[in-house]
Structure 1
């Protein structure tokens, strides 16, 4: 196991460690809400200092100032100035992770499309995953696959035709709401718990027609239930947790989990310290695995996956600023993250084998581990996207 770093102490035997290495290397592994492959601890201090210097002129514009580091990291990585970008992805063993568009405004749509395309154009080892076969081919040929996703829809207005444009660009997964109310439905931070609107129902129908997966990660309870009722294809929650384990607004109730599973969909469990356990400073990968196991007991092993959503591809000073100045504007309660905490066992994406190791420690069979680590996501992707 010398090729892997940051091994969490699951007390595996030598034979179990060899099994974990074999499974991790042979399986298609998908992190469907993937902020990496970089993380603050993988970004050199010299790069962090350089980024801060570049951002300082924008400190009077909080939203711009907060978003700039991730954009600069993307550009520097594309130019080869942060070799850790590729190194971390390959060390992680992750076959496919999402590349995220930002659809909150027309400007952000245009800018993020350019930034995402730059990632594909500049890295000869990264391919755009439009179909399940693209992901399989990436695995066979030693490449990595990027699945284009988006978490908000405000910039689209009520023009459904824009979805066709985004689909043609490569968008394959779209979240209906992000915490708050929009024209489609209510997010998880809305007290009204209003469900999907009339327009939202038409929006879901267009997603179904195009072959874009309906994501309910940040949706409110009724919006999630309505999406499951209206969608004719499997619905997912790309990154969430289990409300029965930790009652946070970002977690799903048993009713929502069951509804998603009944569509044939998958519940992705995140690794965000503030959302899976009561003490974010002492949250471990075991706590994340508890959420995974709960979903398995409730709806079966065919309906759970991983969507870590953490750690961020950002620098520490920027994360602190985000928590203090930006998170409250996005519907998060004061002090409710995101910030600098990480999951013990997933401080870097290169530690991703700890998921495989943890599932072995909990007694799962090889076939079930393959489903949890990526097979379930691949099944839904193939059914909807081809």
Structure 2
């Protein structure tokens, strides 16, 4: 089957939609949902016929892994986003994903937008509901297959099904109970961030003016995650905590969704010394594409061109064996999600601000770009189009098949083979 855009569809998808086993509006709060297909016009990369054919063959014939996404569907009316977040029941964009060409997606669930028990998310109860509802939904369909091992990933490629890795962006919910990591692993979680922006018992977050580094408890948590086989993510950790965790881990760690501070001077981006340390330890960086994140002064607005500016900078700095894509996308107006939840959390969206590790002088030349906030990242707006367009861009810009295969899945497999049991 093909979509209206002519995209090939996974043969394993048979039309299931989230919570088909329940009655919408009776058993759960129903919303008018954002469309998974054709929400925005198709982005034109300007590929010729031969380039387009090569790109599609690379997408369909090889292992493709998204290192970080939130592949769920939000309400069409984003003023209801917080109410939606408090329901604890978040539909997956199965149909949209079936056209993505992805073999495996790292699902970071509701993330900080899951606020059932607390306005600030990341409570143990919130995370338990989030994982439980997702597993219940996935258990009622046969298109998605839960991934718990490298062998599961190998088995999924070419099957017509989609591999699904449960992941979390923070370990805040374990409080001071190390054994909760074992529980999360038992539920299927295979990747976890240590910190989400604000400091917790494990270490310092990137929002803090001063990052005290990985705590003693944080060191114990890193060791336990290594023992269990949970990949460590440092995307929202502070710079010192990141360096400490890279050194403390016995296996390579990941920064699953970020970019280079050398391109865009935001605390959300990573400085060169952290990126070098990550590569020297054998770790992996996933390039982010959420709106207003991986921006670049030479590319006004936020498009695939600014994302790939970060990609090329990081490849030159780290080497192509240590970079992939963690788009951090979903099916919704992502920019409005930021607006709605920023007020709830008392936070701001990633923008050039003089936070810890960011030289205010480096803001020169970026004000005009940041003044007009992007509603989405053109060309990498949702999980359906991200890797198709990333591969097309790489083909257009002369990358070899070998290098493309590394950055769309091969590099991720290398790290998982070392960090998963």
Same fold (TM over 0.5): yes
Deviating runs (4+, > 6 A) in structure 1?
A: 314-317, 330-337
Matching of residues 114-153 of structure 1 within 5 Å: 114-153=132-171
> Which among 108, 112, 127 is matched to residue 130 of structure 2?
112
- Aligned 8 A contact 2:291 2:374 in 1: no
Superposed, 1:1-386 pairs within 5 Å as 3-4=6-7, 7-36=42-71, 38=73, 48=76, 65=83, 67-68=85-86, 71-74=88-91, 77=92, 85-100=93-108, 104-277=122-295, 282-311=301-330, 313=332, 320-323=339-342, 325-329=343-347, 341-352=375-386, 353-386=388-421
Aligned CA RMSD, in angstroms, stands at: 2.8
Length-normalised TM-score, structure 2: 0.77
Higher relative CO (Cα under 8 Å, sequence separation at least 6) belongs to 1
Contact 1:34 1:309 in 2 (8 A): yes
Structure with bigger helix share is 1
Whole-Å Cα distance in 2 between the matches of residues 73 and 195 of structure 1? Answer: 34
Alpha-carbon contact 1:66-1:322 (below 8 Å) kept: no
Aligned with 1:349: secondary structure?
coil
TM-score by length of structure 1 reads 0.84
Q: Secondary structure at the match of 1:273?
A: coil
Aligned length: 357
Structure 1 residue 238, shift from structure 2 partner: 0.6
Query: 5+ residue gaps in structure 2?
Result: 8-37, 112-120, 354-369
Q: Which runs of 5+ in 1 are unaligned?
A: 41-46, 56-62, 78-84
Name the CA distance, whole Å, in 1 between partners of 2:106 and 2:142: 17
1:37 and 1:349 in contact (8 A); partners too: no
Moved more, 109-118 or 227-236: 109-118
Structure 1 pair 371–321 and aligned structure 2 pair: CA distance change class (3 A): same
The answer (yes or no) to whether the contact 1:270–1:307 under 8 Å persists in 2 is yes
CA contact (8 A) 1:187 1:220 kept: yes
Superposition deviation, residue 152 in structure 1:
1.7
Q: 1:198 to 1:233 in 2, by over 3 A?
A: same
- Separation in 1 of the partners of 2:341 and 2:245? 31
